[in-house]
Every structure is written in C-alpha cells, then in structure tokens.
Structure 1
C-alpha cells in the first residue's frame, strides 16, 4: 500500500511515474503538513506524554530501576517487538560505551510484564538495528569499525557478531525478504547506504556487502561491491568512488518493496524503490518533523518517525504524504525519542526518551514507554 501511494500526493511532476510501478513524485516534493488522522496531541498525561484522544500511555521501564527482575540499561535506543506465545517481547539497545548491549522485556497477553533479561552485553554504543524475518535482533554498534551482532530476543542463544556485514559506524538495519538482502545505514556526515546479500538467506555469517551508487538525489541507482568490508585501512564508505554519500544515516524500515531511511544532517526521509532500483525523497522540510531519527511503520502503510531533539515528537507520515505530530514528550528537551516499535498485533507502540528529563549524556535517566490505542492497521 505504501509503495503504491506514498509519492503520488503533493508536488507531482508530470511524467515522473516510475516504469513498472505506480510511484510518482518530484525529487524534492514539498511535504504536506496536515492534521493527524488521530487528531492533535492533547494535554500531557501524568507521565508527560501528550497523546491524541483515545490513546493512553504508561512507563514500562526506567534506567537504573528494576523491571521484570532486571536493572534496566542506560540510554535506551533502537528497538523491535517479537511474538512470544500468548504475549510478545520488546527488545531495546543501550547506546553507551563498553557495556552497551541490549535487553528484552517479555509481556503477557494483557500487557503485564513477565520477565526482563539481557540478550547482548559487553559491546559498544549499540544504537539502532533491526529485526529479521527469522525472529532475531540485529544490534548495531555506532563506532568506528563497528559491528552488527545477531541476538536472540528469547534469550536462549548467545549473540554473535556478523562481520561479513561490514565494519563501519553502523546505525540501522532493515531486512528485505523479497530480494533476500539486508539494508544498512551509516551514521557519518558522508556515510553511505549499503545492502548485504547473504550467501544463504537466514544465515548472516557470509555474503556480499554492496554500496548504493547514484549521481543525483532522485532517479536510478546501481550497486557496487565493497572490496574490503573489514576495512582495516580504508573505510567502507571510501572504497567505491561512485558511492553516493548521505548526511548522517539514521533509521531504516522496509515495507512493500520500499526501504525508507532517514538522514539527520539534512532532515530528510528517503525511499529506495527496491523493485525498480530508484531513489526518491519522501520528506524534505524543517517542520513539522525536525531531527529525523528512528523510523518504523504499520501494516496499513503509516510511517512513524522519531525526533532526535526537535519537539521530542513522533511524527506520522501517511501513505498520501500527510505529515503530522502523533505524540510529544514534554519536559525532556535534552533527550531524543528512540526505539519506536509496534507490538505484533499493532495495538501498542513502544519507544524511549533516551536521556529523560535530566538529559545527561550518560543516559542515566532513560525512560521506556508504551502507548495503547486505536492505531490504524
């Protein structure tokens, strides 16, 4: 649904339809600011979350406090949800040096917290990541020559580094089961956009790392192999001269033939049409969405984009390119919104304020929330 409609509304360029699809749009089409389909965020609740009418929120974890038997980690960042019998699991990264890693909270069918536990420890600045179709979590290190770790959200198997996916300042990952590739963003001011093609789908231990190459912000792209993904001397982003560079790659989300990703340096939301190997810009404005970061979506085609700073909002981009605030966290001006992810049934949205109300760099005041309500599915 999203691929068919997202770029057709607003700022259309005559004759810009993509061959073989219904995509249409100008490379720099103006974002359409409009009212949210849920209405505006209301008065902040007792937890400081401003929500539309009909939605309720709660705090499920705080840094340094016990939840489900576990001391919740500092600086909660990227997250995802996994089905778990009659309940589900929410996984969250920890973006701190040396101890980083990731934790998981197991929920029962009514949303009760059953258990919490670590699924990755002893890693460095685990920022975003992504879930796989085979129900594992890819936790990404946002450091020089960072690694991707494949983690078991159920806590039964040890996490393993997937070094074939490249050594660079990893941010997020998104799996494309149709083409059997994993897209990867890079958080550098001149970072690249990559795809990893495993030798066997479902096994990330070996494969080919490629980088997107293009001469413009919109139009056709090609992919070239990264000669040395281990990058001991030359960074991956500088190994292919034709590679296109992006200003600070952030969140990444795949849906219906399209991989959406954000870049913080120019406050853009991009769309890579994987079916036709073309690149477009979905959002290129300063308002209402500012400080683009983590991104997720619903089966109904809505995108939810979290802000790093800005108004501490999660903004909604609908399939017809309407952009509006969905929720806002009040009193956390020194923080960022991280880890948005929907429960498997689409009725609950999880996310965090990484540094909380205190806004300290160590993330010792992080807060993880849950919002329940009539989300469009």
Structure 2
C-alpha cells in the first residue's frame, strides 16, 4: 500500500508483487482524499489511511480494490499522521501531526468493526511517565472544537508522526528527535533520542531493527542500540524515506523516496524501491 500526501488528489494505491519481488500490477484503492499520511494494515486484512489535515478522516480500504473505501469518523477528525493496531488489547493507536499533537487510541465496540467505538487521548504530566491515563474524547467527529482541545490535561508532543506496535509496546517519533515508547503492559511512556523519522520496523530474528534516519539513510540498530548504516539514497536531498516494510517471508524490504530526486511536494516523482535480503525474518530454510 502507498499513501499519497498530494493535496485534494491524495488517496492510496496498491502495488502487487510476486514472491520473487517482481511487480505484478498496481491500482487505486482510495481516491479523492486530501494529504494522506502514513497508514497501517489491520489484523482482518484491510488498510487504514488518514488525512493529514485539520479535520482529517480515517478511511478503511480494501487492499484488493474490490470493496469501496469507507470513512471511520468514530476514530476522530484531526490531523492524522500514523496509526498502529494492537491486537492484544484490541485497540488502535493514532498520532496527530500538530505542534501540540496528541497520542490517541481507538477502542472499537467490536474488534474487527471500526464503525463505532471510543476515542481516547493520553493524559498526564511530561515529568511523570508513570502517571498517565486514557480519557474519552467527548466528540471525536467535531470540526469546530479539535479533539486535542476537548480533554483537559491531554499530553502534548512535538508533531508525533510514524508509529508501530510490537510485543506490548507502541513506539512513535516526534519532530524534536525523540523516539517515544508506550508500554501497554506497565502502562508507562518514556522517550529516547533516536535519529529515525519513520518508526522502526519489527526486529529481525537476530534482534536487529531497521530504521530510516537522516540524510536519506536506512540504519540497522543492533540489540545494544548501536546504529550502523545499511543504505543511502543519493540525489534525493529534498525527499524523505517512507513506508518501509518487509515482505511476509522476510526476503524483501520495500520503501519509498517520498518526493524523489526533484523534491516536488505536490508532484508525482516518488519512487518505491525493493531490496532483496535475507534479513533474518523469513521462515527456517
């Protein structure tokens, strides 16, 4: 899945790959939306994409392009940047790309059905990582009073962006260069300095984590936190690396240069790359 941050003509496209990495086709699964930021796959095999504009909506899409994409207004109308599914607690975490953006979670009334549920926002003081709670946003679909202003004491972050959930922890990054980790088991949140902009990928079987870094690089973080360069795109100075994802068998790493070599913000110059492994994520043999 590839989200488009183009104003007014955004949406989502799908690219189909064969097991050997060859391209088999491409098609639209969402059209006519505005500045679509990062998305995520659901456990029930749909794709979520949010509009990164004030009052933006979340759309649930059919990755095969058969069923029509549907807005999920119960998940809130705000500047959506990224989201991640937590199948263990049956919630979806969401980040808000604002200078005073919040960290949210959506609790569906029924897991697998996003038409109704409760949107909650993280509340707590910045100097008390152990004193945080989730509070309900009274009117998630409101356009006049933004969601981030509806709950007193909502925790503020500097443009929270890409997020990823794995093993009880939801991680997201902010514009001030921090990687935040919300531990859903101990119910605490902490920040570490990281060079990455998009969220890190799940660890490989060897414990390595791949993360997009500054200067159009992808770095490998070892279990002890040491970063080593993996690759760098040359000539893409005004772009950003986005959408990094492994194929299910772990043989291929896909990522995109958001604005390509021209750096055109509203252009069509993005490029998607495939890198063949192995990366230590596939099945035995």
TM-score range (shorter-chain normalised) is over 0.9
- The question of 1:343 aligning with 2:212 is answered no
Residue 340 of structure 1: how far off its partner (Å): 0.6
2:193 aligns to what?
Answer: 284
Match 1:257 to one of 162, 168, 178: 168
Q: CA RMSD in A?
A: 1.5
Query: 1:232 & 1:115 partners in 2: Cα distance?
Result: 38
Aligned to 2:202: 297
Residue of structure 2 aligned with 1:235, choices 136, 141, 146: 146
Q: Using the alignment, how far apart are the partners of 1:296 and 1:208 within structure 2?
A: 28
What whole-Å deviation, never above 9, does each CA across 1:271-330 have from its counterpart, x for those lacking one? 10001110012x315xxx26x2344324535433324xx311123333332233322111
Give the deviation of 1:147 after TM superposition: 0.5
Question: How does the TM-score come out when normalised to structure 1?
Answer: 0.71
Larger radius of gyration: 1
Question: After the TM superposition, which of the residue ranges 310-319 and 298-307 deviates more from structure 2?
Answer: 298-307
Higher relative contact order (CA 8 A, sep 6+): 1
- For the structure 1 residues 318 and 140, does the alpha-carbon distance in structure 2 shift closer, same or farther, using more than 3 Å as the test? farther
Q: TM-score, normalised by structure 2?
A: 0.93
Return the match for 1:370 from 262, 265, 274.
274
8 Å CA contact 2:15–2:27 kept in 1: the answer is yes
**Relative to structure 1, is the Cα distance of residues 302 and 211 closer, same or farther in structure 2, using a 3 angstrom cutoff?**
farther
Q: Secondary structure at the match of 1:237?
A: helix
1:205 alignment partner in structure 2: 115
Distance 1:363 1:204, change over 3 A: same
Q: Which runs of no fewer than 5 residues in structure 2 stay unpaired? A: none
8 Å contact 2:204–2:279 — kept in the other structure? no
Q: For residues 364 and 115 of structure 1, do their structure 2 counterparts lie closer, same or farther at Cα, with a shift above 3 Å needed?
A: closer
Structure 1 position 122 matched with structure 2 position 32:
yes
Per-residue CA distance 1:321-360 (angstroms, 9 max, x = gap): 2233322111111111111111011121111111111112
What is the 5 A alignment of 1:37-52? none
**Equivalent pair of 1:141/1:169 in contact (CA under 8 Å):** yes
**1:132 matches 2:132:** no
Offset at residue 188 of structure 1 (A): 0.3
Q: What secondary structure does 2:50 align onto? A: strand
Q: Distance in 2 between matches of 1:325 and 1:175?
A: 29
**For 1:159, which of 45, 69, 72 is the aligned residue?**
69
Q: Residue 184 in 1 paired to residue 94 in 2?
A: yes
Question: Residue 127 of structure 1: CA displacement?
Answer: 1.1
Please state whether the residue corresponding to 2:74 is helix, strand or coil: helix
- More off after superposition, 240-249 vs 323-332: 323-332
- Residue deviations 1:194-253, cap 9 Å, x none? 000000000000000000112125334210011110122211111111111000011010
CA contact (8 A) 2:168 2:185 kept: yes
Partner of 1:357: 261
Judged with a 3 Å threshold, the aligned counterparts in structure 2 of structure 1 residues 261 and 115 are, in CA distance, closer, same or farther, namely: same
Cα distance, 1:156 vs structure 2: 1.8
